[in-house]
Amino acid sequence: MSHSILFFDDEKILKNLRPLTYLRNLSELYIGLNRIQDKWTNIPADIHLLGSLLPDPKIKDILTNLSPETGLWYGGQLIAYRSSKTELEGLTKQMLAFAPRYIEYPEDLLTYNAQLLHEEIKPNSFDLDRLTIEGNTILHPENCFIHPTAKLRGTMLDASQGPIYIGEGVHLPIGTLIQGPAAMLADSSTNLGAKIRGNTTIGIGCKVGGEINASLFFPYSNKAHEGYVGSSIIGSYSNWGALSTCSNVRNDLAPISLFDYSTGKPRKTGKNSFGVLMGDFVTTGIGTKFNTGTVIGNHCNISSSSFLPKFIPSLTWGEFPDFAPYKHEKAFQNACAWAATKKQVLAKNIKAIIDQIWKEEASFRN
| Residue 111 domain-assigned (yes or no) | no
The pLDDT of residue 84: 82
Q: Same domain for 235 and 361?
A: yes
How is 169-216 classified by DSSP, letter by letter?
Answer: T-EE-TT-EEESSEEE-TT-EE-TT-EE-SSEEEPTT-EE-SEEES-E
Query: Is-cis flag, bond preceding 255, omega within 30?
Result: no
The pLDDT of residue 2: 41
- Long-range own/partner contacts, residues 135-142 (CB < 8 A, 24 or more apart): 135/174
Q: Same domain for 200 and 349?
A: yes
| Residue 334 domain-assigned (yes or no) | yes
Q: Same domain for 145 and 264?
A: yes
The pLDDT of residue 366: 67
The pLDDT of residue 4: 63
The pLDDT of residue 15: 97
The pLDDT of residue 132: 97
Q: Same domain for 157 and 77?
A: no
Q: Same domain for 160 and 264?
A: yes
Q: Same domain for 82 and 124?
A: no
Q: Same domain for 233 and 289?
A: yes
**Please, are residues 10 and 25 in contact by the beta-carbon 8 Å criterion?**
no
Which amino acid is present at 259?
F
Residue at a domain's end among 103, 130, 152: 103
The pLDDT of residue 108: 98
Cα four-point dihedral sign 174, 186, 138, 227 = positive
The three-state secondary structure class of 100 is: coil
The pLDDT of residue 1: 36
Residues of the chain under the 70 pLDDT cut: 1-4, 366
Residue at a domain's end among 103, 133, 154: 103
The pTM of the full predicted model, rounded to 2 decimals, is 0.95
| Residue 1 domain-assigned (yes or no) | no
Q: Same domain for 159 and 25?
A: no
Q: Same domain for 67 and 130?
A: no
The three-state secondary structure class of 329 is: helix
**What is the bridge-based pairing of β-strands 30-31 and 316-319?**
unpaired
Q: Same domain for 299 and 237?
A: yes
Query: Is-cis flag, bond preceding 219, omega within 30?
Result: no
Query: Domain residues for 318?
Result: 120-365
Nearest to 248 by CA among 204, 199, 282, 208: 199
**What is the bridge-based pairing of β-strands 164-166 and 144-146?**
parallel
**Please, are residues 17 and 103 in contact by the beta-carbon 8 Å criterion?**
yes
Q: Same domain for 48 and 171?
A: no
Nearest to 88 by CA among 10, 4, 1: 10
**What is the bridge-based pairing of β-strands 222-223 and 265-268?**
unpaired
Q: Same domain for 133 and 82?
A: no
The pLDDT of residue 175: 97
CATH number (domain holding residue 275): 2.160.10.10
- For the chain, how many structural domains are there in total? 2
